[in-house]
Amino acid sequence: MKYIEITVETSESGIEPLTALLMEAGAESVEIADPRDILDRMANKASYEWDYVDPSVEAELSETPRIMVYAPDDASGRALARRIRKAAEEAANDAARGAYGPGVDLGTLAVTEAVRDDGEWKDKWKEYFRPFRVSDRIVICPTWEETEVRDEDILIRIDPGMAFGTGTHETTSMCLALLEQTVRPGQSVLDCGTGSGILSIAAAKLGAGEVLGIDIDPEAVRVAKENIERNGVSGTARAEQGDLTKGVPFTADLVVGNLMAELIVMLTPDIAAHLAPGGRFISSGILTEKEDLVRGALEKEGFEIRRVDRKGEWCAILADRAVGDKRAEDGEVPEAAGSDIRVPGAGNGRQGA
Ligand code: SAH
């Protein structure tokens, strides 16, 4: 669908008065791009996405605040664009004669218009999401593609929609490989931050007896439910909106959380509380430079680190909850495989746990 994007460049002090003027000119809603918000987010790292924010954010930091109005690509949209231009001009004149207070700077108030097509970018990512083998047995296939698999393979069909979790990201693929090697028949699995539901579906297909995927984002829960259904595992797996810090009535043999380092640290006590004695925790979404931070939090909570996998700049940690004060005794630590996988204390140059 085509639409007109009308952008007005302003300043920090211009955001509020200009928003009011644009609404007066007939804008039904506005979007504010304020570099200061990014600074606020940097200060508040408890928000999930932070580690994933890409370098373009840094570029945005140097930009001036902008206000965007979206209008239909028709006569009414073009009329609105004209009214906005006029309002911006008037505001510039008013500001120049001090109508907004002495020295109040509304910025350049430059107005630009662009006709956009939401189909342009919306489906672009689909070109990069093709069927692929993510681990020894697990094959991921987008719902709009077909692929061939071997009898012993586990096929997961995914449409991630707006949720995270195609399996192509290192953090998800390491979780899938670890799940493949750790899930035992009949186990209960808690997937904390289920996103597209991909890890819940994998756990169910790997033989788990009961799987609960939770996510704070209602859109992710909707997407996860759809994917669970289309993979035929709704008898075992379910997705619910939930926040682990607020308590979820579920005790698991295995918790998998592909979150981010700070969030894992924050949630580790809650995860320990949701694990059966001797249970396991796969944590992922950890930048390698934050590995020690997460290890520290896990150890403080009585976890024993059994394995650390690395891919690119990411790592995933398999940890066991010790039974009482003796070492966790589930001797089955899956073999580490591949050159970028490290076992703690196996002479890989890192300080062992
Ligand atoms: N499990 C998927 C998605 C990981 S993205 C995969 O491995 O690819 C992480 C998800 O965690 C996001 O969907 C986010 O909404 C969710 N999340 C963030 N904080 C959370 C919290 N406190 N409780 C539950 N889910 C959370």
Span 43-73, pLDDT tens digits: 554 444 455 555 555 566 667 899 999 998 9
Q: Quick one: which atom of ligand 1 is closest to the CA of 257?
A: 1
Ligand 1 cavity residues, CB under 6 Å: 48, 163-165, 172, 175, 192-195, 198-199, 214-217, 220, 243-245, 258-259, 263
Give the model's pLDDT for residue 83. 96
The confidence band for 322, taking pLDDT boundaries of 50, 70 and 90, is confident
Who contacts 344 (Cβ-Cβ below 8 Å, separation ≥6)? 305, 306, 307, 308, 350, 352, 353
Q: How far apart are the CA of 46 and the centre of ligand 1, in A?
A: 12
Closest CA to 353 of 302, 314, 313: 302
Who contacts 47 (Cβ-Cβ below 8 Å, separation ≥6)? 41
Give the model's pLDDT for residue 63. 76
Q: Quick one: which atom of ligand 1 is closest to the CA of 267?
A: 22
What percent of the chain is predicted at pLDDT more than 70? 83
Query: Can you tell me the mean pLDDT for 6-35?
Result: 91
Task: Please name the residue whose Cα sits nearest to atom 1 of ligand 1.
Answer: 194
Of residues 352 and 136, the one with the higher pLDDT is 136
Closest CA to 1 of 74, 79, 66: 74
322 and 272 Cβ atoms separated by less than 8 Å: no
Query: Can you tell me the mean pLDDT for 154-164?
Result: 95
Task: Please name the residue whose Cα sits nearest to atom 19 of ligand 1.
Answer: 48
pLDDT at position 345 over 50: no
Span 115-139, pLDDT tens digits:
988 766 667 778 789 999 999 999 9
pLDDT at position 349 over 60: no
Give the model's pLDDT for residue 41. 60
Sheet holding 138-142, edge to edge: 132-133, 138-142, 154-158
Helices 75-96, 15-24: inter-axial angle, 10-degree rounding: 140
- Distance, CA of 194 to CA of 237 (rounded, Å): 11
Of residues 85 and 98, the one with the higher pLDDT is 85
Task: Please name the residue whose Cα sits nearest to atom 24 of ligand 1.
Answer: 215
266 and 46 Cβ atoms separated by less than 8 Å: yes
Mean of all residue pLDDT scores within the chain: 86
The confidence band for 341, taking pLDDT boundaries of 50, 70 and 90, is very low
Task: Please name the residue whose Cα sits nearest to atom 13 of ligand 1.
Answer: 195
Lowest mean pLDDT among 21-30, 38-47, 103-112, 228-237: 38-47
Task: Note the Cα 45 to chain centre separation in Å.
Answer: 13
Give the model's pLDDT for residue 92. 93
Give the model's pLDDT for residue 57. 57
Q: How far apart are the CA of 39 and the centre of ligand 1, in A?
A: 22
Task: Please name the residue whose Cα sits nearest to atom 15 of ligand 1.
Answer: 217
Q: Quick one: which atom of ligand 1 is closest to the CA of 260?
A: 9
